Amino acid sequence: MARVERLLNLVAALIDTSTPLTAEQIRVRVPGYPEPDAAGSGSGRSDSAFHRAFERDKESLREVGIPIETLEVHHLEQPRAAYTIIRDTYELPDPGLNTDELAALHLAATMIQAEGLDPDDLEEGLRRLGGLTSEVAPSAAPVGAVPMPPQLLSLFACTLERRVASFDYESKPREVQPYRLEYRRGHWYMTGYDLDREAQRSFRLDRLTGVVTAGEPEGFVVPQSVEEVLLRPWEIGDGPSTAARVLIDAELASAVMAEDPELRVIETRQDGSLVLELDVRNPGGLRSFMMNFLDRAEILSPEEYRSEIVLWLSNFVSSPAERPA
Amino acid sequence: MSGIAAPDRVQRILAVIPYIIQNPGTPLTELAQRFSLSESDLRNDLELVFYGVGLYPFTPDVLVEVSFDNDCVTVNLADYFHRPVRLTHEQALTLLAGGRALIGRNGSDPDGVLSRAVQKLSAVLGEGAESSVEVALGPADTEILDALQSAVATKSRVTLSYYSYGRDEATLREVDPYRVLSRQGHWYLLAHCHLADAERLFRIDRIQAVELTGQNFDPPELIREVEETLSGAFSAVELMGPESIAWVADAYPYDVFERLPDGTVRLVIPVTATPWLERLLLRLDPSTTAVEVLSGESLLGIRVAAASRILTRYLQV
């Protein structure tokens, strides 16, 4: 009997059973496994072939998302592994997507390429949700590509199942309750509650090293509101903030505002230049931000930040570094 | 039968059967279309289930019953397959990320169909799934993005007023827009630029205005791969400095990144334009050195000039 039938019958048997089945029971109920050796032959060759085939089947089914549970049962006083599929974890509740909604999902996921994931995942996912509905118009060529690194997938699973995630970040071990994953400006960030630091933190995924280890499901509760990732370099810090005013020349005004529309504009001058007010906790971050604009922007106030910039720039003018020998 | 791996065929069958159970009598052709399968593959799948799937001891009353009535398909006695399998994390992430990315882009979901779809999808993925993933493809003015997309669709030549960050200058240029796309967190327009008489990639957030010229253009048969256009550095620069400059390796593409025995960080990075290098050097520790790899010339003069220009602005009375 072909492997496809054997796998389907294994799924049916594990869903239908009211008590978990041991490997031996499965061998009897699911056709297609190597028959037991003739009684008394004692070779055990077919037994090991059966176990290999059964292990492989379980692994293949789990890979396509079929949740085969392993439990311990006692049989003749001996503990044994037994297997079952719990309906609630197996069955996809009906999302109630209508044809238009399925088509919209299909189109969106086609236009945004998930780099690093198998394109079949899209097709297979849609089949489970009720079909692919219609052919996607050729004009729907991918417009965007979003990388999907392996850590993202592990953290996504932790987020959905509310498992604590453990990983190394900048070479230090962290334990975090992951709340949300955000893709911004070309990078993935995870925002969550850092258990060691007892505070909400954001982590850039490409700075995670090694594997993500997942804790038990339902290990925490996500708060009602999760703040967005903080990306403005001058805002990163714990101290009190100082309001600084910055003048951006007209040529750069629209680019700066497109990059960060939430910036506080307190004045638009006649020539089109903007005065922004920034809450600065990290003057070094403000300096880096200002260097992006070269001589097309200027810190207006406070005086202290102006003199810091002047001091910083003077470093370069008065003492150009010598190349080390 | 196509050479599909057994587990893949299993998951396909486990998605189709529940649909037929819930929509009995659906024509085979319609099913094949909906599930993007050939009719013969689908018929083979159904026959396999009919002849081979059931429960121990496989008496007729526990076998799956599949009937074709004038090619309309009905499935009975497969209660254990009445719902599809939950999505794998890969499947869920692909769909959710795609949906969230386009919802995040204003104007792509005018009727809210996609938002509803993502909401319904999130509801079956688990509590909190809805806010679990956010995708921002890049900053851009919606009007400009829309204007460019429609110019691409109608093959209309446009005039861009564009600020080139790398060269630190604003220009007006006529372009033939080929494609709008998002890469690495930014929206780009791939277009033939008449000013440069070459294909160029423009950051959409640096386009201040788009105007139709009233002319149309014929796009070339073959549009170059975007990644090819993205590269094109003119020189490689070697940076040497203290540990505090190591972040450069995180932020920009590099050819070489190493820590020398004395703790000095050595980086070789591709550079496309001088202002870009100026900005970078002004953010790095003053003891950092910069040398053009090919010529061996020090580039610190560039840094002195840039710092002086900015200082002039701060020190003028």
CATH number for the domain harbouring residue B252: 3.30.70
Residue in this structure with the two tokens 């602005």, named with its chain if needed: B313
Q: pLDDT grade, residue B108 (50/70/90)?
A: low
Which is more confidently placed, B240 or A1? B240
Q: B14: domain CATH number? A: 1.10.10
Does one domain contain both B69 and B102?
no
For range B262-273, the mean pLDDT: 86
Last residue of a domain, one of B229, B247, B273: B229
Is B101 in CB contact (< 8 Å) with chain A?
yes
Whether residue B7 and residue A296 make contact (CB cut-off 8 A), yes or no, is no
Q: Residues B267-281: what's their mean pLDDT?
A: 84
Percent of chain A with pLDDT strictly greater than 90:
51
Position with higher pLDDT, B297 vs A31:
A31
Domain match, B171 and B126 both: no
User: Could you tell me if B48 and B95 lie in one domain?
Assistant: no
* B87 in A contact zone (CB under 8 Å): yes
pLDDT value for B65: 83
Same structural domain, B220 and B245: no
What CA–CA distances, in Å, run from A25 to A82, A246, B56, B81?
A: 9, 75, 11, 21
Distance from CA of B214 to the nearest CA of A (A): 23
The answer to the question of residue B154 being in a domain is yes
Instruction: Please calculate the CA angle A294-A299-A300 and round it to the nearest 5 degrees.
Output: 140
CA-closest candidate to residue A19, choices A74, A56, A61, A89: A74
Residue A305's closest CA among B283, B285, B314? B314
Would you state the pLDDT for residue A68?
Answer: 95
In the numeric block, which tokens belong to residue B6? Answer: 């057994």
Q: Which range among A20-34, A166-180, A216-230, A280-294 shows the weakest confidence by mean pLDDT?
A: A216-230
Residue A93: which residues within 8 A CB-CB, separation 6 or more?
B83, B123, B124
Ramachandran quadrant class, B49 (left: phi over 0; alpha: psi -120 to 50; beta: rest): alpha
Q: Give domain status of residue B1, yes or no.
A: no
| pLDDT computed for residue B97 by the predictor | 92
- Say what the pLDDT of residue A153 is: 93
Chain A CB contacts of B153 under 8 Å are: 139
pLDDT digits (tens, 9 = 90+) for B60-73: 877 888 888 888 89
The structure tokens 């072939």 sit at A49
Q: What is the pLDDT of residues B159-207, one digit of tens each?
A: 999 887 667 778 899 999 988 888 767 788 889 999 888 888 888 888 8
Does A252 sit within 8 Å of B163, measured CB to CB? yes
Residue-level pLDDT at B134: 86
Preceding omega of B219 cis (within 30 degrees of 0) = no
Residue B143: is its pLDDT beyond 60? yes
Q: Tell me the chain A residues in contact with residue B139 when contact means C-beta distances shorter than 8 Å.
A: 258-261
Res. A323 pLDDT band, cuts 50 70 90:
very low
Residue whose token pair is 């079952």: A84
Indicate the number of domains in chain B: 4
In this predicted structure, what is the pLDDT of residue A22? Answer: 92
Shortest Cα distance, chain A CAs vs residue B293, angstroms: 14
Mark yes or no for CB contact A61/B89 under 8 Å.
Answer: no
Å from A103 to nearest chain B CA?
9
Residue A137 has pLDDT above 80, yes or no: no
CB contact under 8 A, A2 and B6: yes
In contact, A301 and A269? CB cutoff 8 Å = no
Chain B residue numbers with beta carbons less than 8 Å from the beta carbon of A310 are 311, 314-315
Q: How far is B251 from chain A (nearest CA, A)?
A: 10
Q: Do B206 and A66 count as a contact with CB atoms less than 8 A apart?
A: no
Residue B156 has pLDDT above 80, yes or no: yes
What pLDDT band is residue B112 in, cutting at 50, 70 and 90? confident
When pLDDT is averaged across residues A264-282 and rounded to a whole number, the result is 93
pLDDT for position B229: 43
* Residue A321 pLDDT > 50: no
Q: Report the relative pairing of strands A112-115 and A144-147 from DSSP bridges.
A: parallel
Which ipTM did the prediction report? 0.77
Q: Are residues B273 and B306 in the same domain?
A: yes
Residues B267-286, mean pLDDT to the nearest whole number: 86
- Choose the CATH number for A233-318 among 3.10.110, 1.10.357, 2.60.40, 3.30.70: 3.30.70
Residue B202: the pLDDT is 85
pLDDT band at B85 (very low <50, low <70, confident <90, very high): very high
pLDDT at A141 over 70: no
B136 in any annotated domain: no
Are B223 and B147 members of one domain? yes
Mean pLDDT of chain A: 86
Whether residue B244 is predicted with pLDDT greater than 50 in this model: the reply is yes
- Average pLDDT, stretch A126-132? 90
- B317/B307 Cα distance (integer angstroms): 18
Shared-domain flag, residues B241 and B276? yes
- Indicate the range of A35-39, A210-214, B89-93 predicted with least confidence: A35-39
- Work out the average pLDDT over A241-265: 88
Do the Cβ atoms of B71 and B27 come closer than 8 Å?
yes
- Provide the percentage of residues in chain B whose pLDDT is more than 90: 39
Architecture of domain A3-90: Orthogonal Bundle (1.10)
Question: Percent helix, strand, coil in chain B (nearest 5)?
Answer: 40, 30, 30
The pLDDT value recorded for residue A27 is 94
State whether residue A17 is helix, strand or coil: coil
Q: Does B182 touch chain A (CB under 8 A)?
A: yes
CB contact under 8 Å between A287 and B137, yes or no, is no
Write down the pLDDT at residue A201: 81
User: How many interface pairs between A and B have CB atoms less than 8 angstroms apart?
Assistant: 360
Give which of A6, A28, A29, A143 to mutate to test B binding, by max B Cβ within 10 Å: A143
The tokens of B214 are what?
């009233």
- Residue B305 domain boundaries: 235-315
